[in-house]
Chains A and B, each alone.
Chain A
Amino acid sequence: MTGTKTQLYSRQGLWSLFLMCAFPLHFWTLLLAFRDISWLTERSNLWDAIGVVSYGLLFAFVESLMVFLVVALLGLLISTKWEESRRIALLSILMFVLSLWAMYGQAHFVWNLSPSNWVLKLMAQSGHPYRVIFSITFIEVFLSIAVSTFLVLRWDKFFRFMQEAIDRISFLTSLYLVLDLIGLVIVVIRNI
């Protein structure tokens, strides 16, 4: 933590933030796209299956840009009394938390997960199951955001852990971006 005001974002900071936004989006796209390859190949052929994955990567890249823009703008709301690396770490962990919740929401359908019977029974007994679900979800999301924020801003050990994680994830995401480029080439070839 620092008491002096710093610049909003450096070029390196923006790049790191972009990579952190791109990571969960690409991870999820690749996870689902590779699940689809076998049935796509079976119903059509491998080249078409690769085409679908390529479109997936292309859209993931576009989505990454859009999400990055929103996150970067939201980052302007964070006081610049925090040094840039800490603000990037905060925005990154918020991005991860929200992505995890989004993945969790979809995972129920991907892997046919459902809450245990006693939870469903309890909610049904409440008389207002939807209100209960929304309230619980809201509390969970709010708490996860609050805890993440606290950890990054107030606990240096966690902040350093985040910095290390960002470094490693940045490398992985750079590989994803190479895949994006290959996907783009494939999409162009398919549309010539």
Chain B
Amino acid sequence: MDAKMNRHLNRRDFLKLAGLLPLGVATPRLVRSLGASRLLQAGKKNVLVVVFDAFSASHLSLNGYQRETMPNLVRLAERAIVYHNHYAGGSFTTAGTASLLTGTLPWTHRAFQLNGIVAEPFVTRNFFSAFQDYYRIAYTHNGVANILLEQISEELDEWVPWKSLFLQSYGESIRNLFEKDSDIFSVGWTRNMNIKQEGYAYSLFLSHLYEALRENQFTDLKKLFPRGLPSTGDIVNDFLLEDAIDWTGNRLTLIPQPFFGYFHFLPPHIPYNTSLEFINRFSHDGFKPVEKPQDIFTEGNPNEKVLKNLIEYDEFLLYVDREFNRLFNYMETSGLLENTWVVFTSDHGEIFERGSIGHSSDALYQAQIRVPLLIFEPGRKTRMDIHTPTCAVDVLPTLSQVNGYNIPDWTEGMVLPPYADASPDQNRSIYVIKANKNEKYAPITHASTALIKGHYKLLYYFGDIERGIDELVKLYDIEADPEELVDLYSSQKDVADELLNELKVKLAEVNRPYM
């Protein structure tokens, strides 16, 4: 435990580092000159994986979205490999993040329940174990993702404490009393005290008092965030993405090279509290998304609420864009970019359609599972567009290969084009799984699954007792019908049956160890 603690950057470490600031100014240059020859010899470059939580690829103009939500990213993409059909492993943080970190799908890593952790073998089978001789650093704003980082923290040289990049709030000291149950405490505390968000709280009187106290805290910052400070959604976890970006940029210039950095920031995850600069940027632009009929998975939100949230999400993306651009500039001006692979991606998407908002829907529509992936290769000056379907599990083997490592035999991913030796398989099967109600170590009998193959996408739902779904199958042609409006299950039954059979064979295979 002590050894583990020593590797985390605590407040004391941080203060020590702050004391070394004058030296730190000179360090990057020194490190660069010392490290450059070593890097060249070993052929290994730094790796920085930047995850913005709940970022749907459907909201990128790079993928045809009508709003320009990420103008800086679009500009930077001219030097990147842009993957247009990239899928998360799961549809919410635990499953999606674990897939990215382990290079395996949820039915293999088994972290498919909220707050879940990966199966024991993957504690030492992940990005950080694959990059053993790198300086491995990780941080996340997301408490659920932090559970995963905690589980594999033995593989990290620096696990940046979750709370270190949050603003200190009144509830913080109370939270410390319940540290071992911090997630559920946070939900309980929020339901008791957060009267502002929903208009009601468990507490009849204290919630008003607490709200008044909070109103007087961070008053200057609040002027810059009229919808509220960015937060995890509970009321003791306010943060500024600016702070996290500044800290990350500075830290990367101080740590030993080559480094492997995993930084998982919360925006654009709900609450969509964007900066003043971007408020109302899209509220009167006349954009009307395609109207989609509500289905069995609808959360029943009225259309006005869905559209309001959509605008706020898109405006929050502008904030993400500004801050990613700043991080990129840090990397460029410090010289790190020359020797660093930068990966821009997300753990899952977000939907604003069919009465659903967010990513808790069981439906697995495109907006919820398709995420951005851009790879900034050191020295690349031109853009390359990849339209072949790819998956989050591909990132680990790809980064392993390009940095001279053998591809771990436990990963389920493939090396991404253009780095793969063979030309990309257009008919590769991509799987996405949501099985948050299934027992962890049991056959998967209650899940939503998607199989993407070529231009088809098969959705297969089974075991959903609450909705009375024994089996439900949908088929879409996502090339001709990217909005998933026409279910082809009846009209193209042969295609659906073939894909369904393939999916069932796969399920039988992954269930075998648990039978």
Enumerate chain A interface residues (CB-CB to B < 8 A).
24-25, 28-29, 32-33, 36, 40, 42-45, 48, 51-52, 54-56, 59-60, 63, 66-67, 99, 102-103, 106-110, 187, 190-192
Contacts and interface: CB of A to CB of B under 8 A. Distances in A.
Interface in B171-224: 178-181, 183-185, 187-189, 191-193, 195, 198-206
B188 A106 contact: no
Given A191-B181, A192-B180, A56 B192 contact: yes
Contacts of B115: 44, 48
Contact of B203 (A29, A44, A51, A107): A29
Contacts of B132: none
A188 to B, nearest CB: 10
B204 A190 contact: no
A24 B203 CA distance: 10
A25 B205 CA distance: 9
26 contacts: A25-B205, A32-B191, A32-B200, A33-B191, A42-B466, A44-B113, A44-B114, A44-B115, A45-B113, A48-B183, A51-B181, A51-B188, A52-B188, A55-B185, A59-B188, A59-B203, A60-B202, A63-B205, A102-B205, A106-B199, A106-B200, A108-B199, A109-B199, A110-B199, A191-B178, A191-B179
A63 B201 CA distance: 13
A25 B204 contact: yes
Contacts of B437: 42
Given A25-B204, A48-B187, 10 more contacts: A36-B191, A43-B114, A44-B184, A55-B184, A63-B206, A103-B204, A110-B200, A190-B178, A191-B181, A192-B180
The 4 closest A-B pairs by CB, nearest first: A55-B188, A109-B199, A106-B200, A51-B184
B294 interface: no
B202 to A, nearest CB: 4
B303 interface: no
Nearest to B114: A44
B180 to A, nearest CB: 5
Contacts of A108: 199
A44 B181 CA distance: 14
Nearest to A189: B181
B490 interface: no
B203 A52 contact: no
A66 B206 contact: yes
A55 B195 CA distance: 16
Interface of B: 113-115, 178-181, 183-185, 187-189, 191-193, 195, 198-206, 360, 436-437, 466
Contact of B191 (A24, A48, A56): A56
Nearest to A44: B114
Given A32-B200, A45-B113, A67 B205 contact: yes
Given A190-B180, A190-B181, A191-B181, A59 B205 contact: no
Nearest to B199: A109
Contacts of A48: 115, 183-184, 187
A32 B188 contact: no
Nearest to A112: B199
Contact of A56 (B114, B180, B188, B200): B188
B401 to A, nearest CB: 37
A102 B204 contact: yes
Nearest to B200: A106
A191 B204 contact: no
A29 B204 CA distance: 8
B198 A191 contact: no
A59 B188 CA distance: 9
Contacts of A102: 204-205
Contacts of B205: 25, 63, 67, 102
A24 B205 CA distance: 11
Nearest to A63: B206
B180 A25 contact: no
B202 A99 contact: no
B237 to A, nearest CB: 16
Nearest to A110: B200
B403 to A, nearest CB: 37
A67 B181 CA distance: 27
Contact of B180 (A40, A109, A110, A191): A191
